[in-house]
Amino acid sequence: MFPVGLRIFSSFPRNSFKECVSCRNNNIVRTVLTSTFRHRTNQRQIHLSKSRFKAARIVVISTSDVIFDSLALEEWLYEHRDLSSKEYLFMWKNKPAIVSGRHQNPWLEANIPLAASLGLDIARRSSGGGTVYHDEGNLNLSFLKSRDNYNRRENLDLVVEAVTNKWDIDLTINDRDDILLNKLYKVSGTAAKLGRLQSYHHFTLLHSVDLDLLQRCLTSPMQGASSKATKSFPATVMNLSEQEPDITFDSLTSTIGEHFLAEVGLEATPDTFRYLNPLCETEFPGVTDIARRLQTWEWRFAKSPDFSIERNFTGHTYKSLPYSVQVKLAVRKGALTSLEVRVDNPELEQLDQLINQFCRDHSGFLLMHENVKTFEDKFLYCFSESSNKQIEYVSEARRILKCILSSLDFL
């Protein structure tokens, strides 16, 4: 149920609402204000009084389980709809995927080799924030509004109210705008995109996610990295369904959607609560082009901020002398811009020079598996018994190659 204050406010015409608030001697208005401010924060009420009656609302639910499709529609709505006249709550779920923030490095934030072996989609959002794992047990919510009406706390409050009014469950919001279960377990992470006139605020809601796979997918094998990319903040997580088994995924979706509409006096009808194909070109012309762009390697990986890696491999021996191999590499816009190897054995000084010359000649490629395989094949040919290099170096060259490839095991 809605608090008394909100029901009374919604019945006021906009002008009379302003006049009543300014009337200090009206006992009824005092009662309304007192009741309302006890239930909401001051910030939320100020925002309601300024914007709540400006825009109509509609709930849209994606019928696709492909992350790129839903992200494309979200971007399309942001770019093409007048969000000052109509606000959207867009909800979807998708098959397993890893989604990084706009300013992040997915190699640094996630286990990309594991994700690839399991056939998971790897995506990048247009918003900031951290890297998340999605599957069919995760509800994604995106509030699309005008920039003037952008208010993270209001959106989070709405979801918390909708869920806690329906089910006996303890949800709170922390200072990082995460929704917590029992004040301890994170069930939602948040991010946003703000334009000059438009905005969207989206977040996850863990209903019945595979938490073991989530943990494995969000643990990167990358070592020795240095980067200015935005980092994710690990947290202890829990599913809503673990606390309250009566919460079904469909009931969670409908409850939040109906609450979003009811705040402005609307009911769920075929016009206000719509299930849509996110790639419908008839309704959203150009949306498939956005989806294709979001799937490109250049967007998902090459947009990563520059980073470098330094690894040190010990335990090698040549002519009874132990030695270590130091590998340094730098990556810019997804390309291996430099690769340097140092071998601290004087007996291998010539090999050290030959390998570094090879690395200078053959770096510059995009960090795709096929390019790394080409580099490996050329290296093996260059330092093979059939080449002009000294045969005694062949086995050591292959050991050094393994160190180089181990430095790239995050791909």
Can you give the residue ranges of every domain in the chain?
A: 56-301, 307-407
CA distances for 340 relative to 183, 241, 355, angstroms: 48, 51, 9
What local confidence, expressed as pLDDT, does residue 231 receive? 86
What local confidence, expressed as pLDDT, does residue 54 receive? 53
Burial environment of residue 5 by CB neighbours within 10 A (0 to 12, 13 to 18, 19 or more): buried
166-185: per-residue pLDDT in tens?
A: 999 999 999 999 999 999 99
Comparing CA positions, the residue from 98, 74, 133, 68 lying closest to residue 292 is 68
In CATH, which of 2.40.128, 3.30.160, 2.40.50, 3.30.390 is domain 307-407?
3.30.390
Look-up of token digits 């291996």: 336
What local confidence, expressed as pLDDT, does residue 4 receive? 31
Its CATH class, for the domain covering 56-301, is: alpha beta
Q: Which residues of the chain have pLDDT under 50?
A: 1-53
Burial environment of residue 405 by CB neighbours within 10 A (0 to 12, 13 to 18, 19 or more): middle
How many CB atoms within 10 Å of residue 256? 21
185-201: per-residue pLDDT in tens?
A: 999 989 999 999 999 99
What tokens were used for 352? 């050290």
